[in-house]
Amino acid sequence: MIKRLSFLIGIFLFGFFSAQKKEQLQKQNAELKKQISSINANLAKTQQQSKLSVAYLNEVEKKIGLREKVYTNTQKEKRLIEDEIYLRQLEINRQNRELAVLRKNYAEVLVKAYKNKGSQNKVTFILSSKNLGEALRRIQYLKDYSDYQDKKAAEISTAAKVLQENITLKQKSVKDKEMILSNQQKDLLTIAAEKKTKQTLLEEFKKNEVQLTSELKQKQAESKQLEGQIRSIIAEEIRIAKAKEAENRKIEAEKIRLAKIAAEKEKAKIEAENKARMEALALEKKKADDEARRLKEISERKAAEEVERSKIAAAADAKKSEDTKKAADAERAEARRIAAAKDAVEAAANAKAAADRAASARAAEATMVKKNNDEKKAAETKAMTNFGVAPNLGSNFAANRGKMGMPVYGTITHRFGRQPHPVFKNIVEENNGVKIAVTKGTVAKCIAPGTVSRVIASGDGSKMVIVKHGDYFTIYANLSSTMVSANQQVSAGTSMGVVGADFDGSYTLDFQIWNGSSPVDPLGWVN
């Protein structure tokens, strides 16, 4: 029983995880097929332009890679289904054995029932009881025996139903496997056809190797010449920037000197104007402090006198019954005490008012000090502004590294640095940027705010835009037309120009980033 339960649990868990894995593989394949469909659409467009392009070949290779991933996933799915069929068959075999045992046991029950059939036998069986209790027990026995037969029949029916369900599931899995095998055959044929296409393309490249190699070398020579132009332009820009910076430093230093002189004059004027106010406030504060001190002393003295008079009045009250004359003195003493108490209250109020005036004077003095400092600071800032001295905000190009968008979105066919050509391995390329293959009519966008340094027409008819971003430069080369002019202020997203056709017929943007006089890998800066 325990073995059977463990087996059933194992079957259930396998089925659960297997279903999950199959679903995951199917989702992956669906996504891969979407990518393949997108590549097919791109190939349909680029096919009209040129098959003899690295971009076209890259797309074909990418598609083959995706097809092979689909095939691999399908292989995994097939193995899962095969495992499922195997385990399902084991379960069917086990259920067949159990069903055979159930049927055998039920047949034996039926045989016994047949031998003892007939109502007469049952009646005789009951009537032959020795007493009523035994008769009742025999009636219950006959009922239980009948229920047992029904139960065994139900077990056989349920077992047969479950067995049939498992057989149906196995048949479905077999069909799924057959379908997968059919799809695999189609995939293998498709992969073979696409590999043949790739081989044909490579042969086409080989046929035209002499011509393409010649054109490629010519293009590399033009690129070298272009690189020399870029270096000269950037060197000149750096020289101008340094000279301008030196001149600006002199001008800025003179502006700061004059601004400081003007600021000191203004601050001296403010200091002089505020000095009298400060002295008046200081005198008022001293007077207020002295008055507060004097009134406090009076208040304290009068309070002490009030205490003494209270003692005298109390003593007079004690002797009032003894001496009438003294009673009159006590009455007068009481009047004086009331008057003194009134004076004490008034003195305390005056002392508080004087203390408040002293506090106000101190607060006014502090406010005046702050106002004086603020006015002097404002005067300095105003003088600096009047003389054209502004804070240096610097360039935010470096701060945005990795956050800037691509100038165009397409297929990167040539990467940064020294590397063999994707097709002609005997040719080594030296790329100062990346080359991005795009569809015809694509417009290159500026990646960051800056100033257009140059718009240059190359010998092959293509155009190039150089944009200055502080110490950095971005290059947009191989444009068929441009949309900006020299010294134009541009922002991120400004249209630079339309990407032109390369020598192999593909539409490719040559995009570069320079840090001063050194090119850097653009893929480390844009995404």
Tens-digit pLDDT profile for residues 188-217: 777 777 777 777 777 776 666 566 566 666
pLDDT tens-digit map of 126-141: 666 677 777 777 677 6
pLDDT computed for residue 145 by the predictor: 63
Chain position carrying tokens 């996933």: 73
| Distance, CA of 53 to CA of 440 (rounded, Å) | 14
Instruction: Quote the tokens at residue 32.
Output: 């891969």
Chain position carrying tokens 């054995």: 97
Beta strands in 443-521 (DSSP E): 443-445, 450-457, 463-469, 472-482, 489-490, 495-499, 507-515, 518-520
pLDDT computed for residue 146 by the predictor: 66
pLDDT tens-digit map of 362-395: 777 677 677 767 776 776 676 666 655 544 433 5
Would you place residue 338 in the very low, low, confident or very high pLDDT band (cuts 50, 70, 90)? confident
57's enclosing H/E stretch is helix 54-115
Give 121-173 as a 3 state SS string: HHHHHHHCCCCHHHHHHHHHHHHHHHHHHHHHHHHHHHHHHHHHHHHHHHHHH
Three-state DSSP class for residue 447: coil
Query: Is the pLDDT assigned to residue 87 strictly greater than 70?
Result: yes
Of all residues in the chain, the percent with pLDDT exceeding 90 is 15
Closest CA to 458 of 504, 500, 486: 500
- Report, in this order, helix, strand and coil percent for the chain, each rounded to 5: 70, 15, 15
The total of other beta-carbon atoms located within 10 Å of residue 443's CB is 16
Average pLDDT of the chain, as a whole number: 75
Query: Is the pLDDT assigned to residue 49 strictly greater than 60?
Result: no
Give 148 or 267, the one with higher predicted confidence: 267
pLDDT computed for residue 230 by the predictor: 84
Report the predicted TM-score, pTM, of the whole model to 2 decimal places: 0.43
| Distance, CA of 522 to CA of 513 (rounded, Å) | 6
Query: Is the pLDDT assigned to residue 51 strictly greater than 60?
Result: no
Q: Are 372 and 274 in contact (CB under 8 A)?
A: yes
pLDDT computed for residue 474 by the predictor: 96
Range scoring the smallest mean pLDDT among 1-10, 121-130, 199-208, 243-252: 1-10
* Pairing between β-strand 495-499 and β-strand 443-445 as defined by DSSP bridges: antiparallel
Of all residues in the chain, the percent with pLDDT exceeding 70 is 65
What's CA 439's distance to the chain center, in Å? 30
Inter-residue long-range contacts of 16-23, CB under 8 Å, 24+ positions, other chains counted: 18/80, 18/83, 18/84, 21/76, 21/80, 22/77, 22/80, 22/81
| Distance, CA of 388 to CA of 28 (rounded, Å) | 63
Q: How far is CA 6 from CA 2, 12, 98, in A?
A: 6, 10, 16
In the chain, the amino acid numbered 405 is: G
pLDDT tens-digit map of 463-518: 999 999 988 999 999 999 999 999 999 999 999 999 998 866 788 999 999 998 89
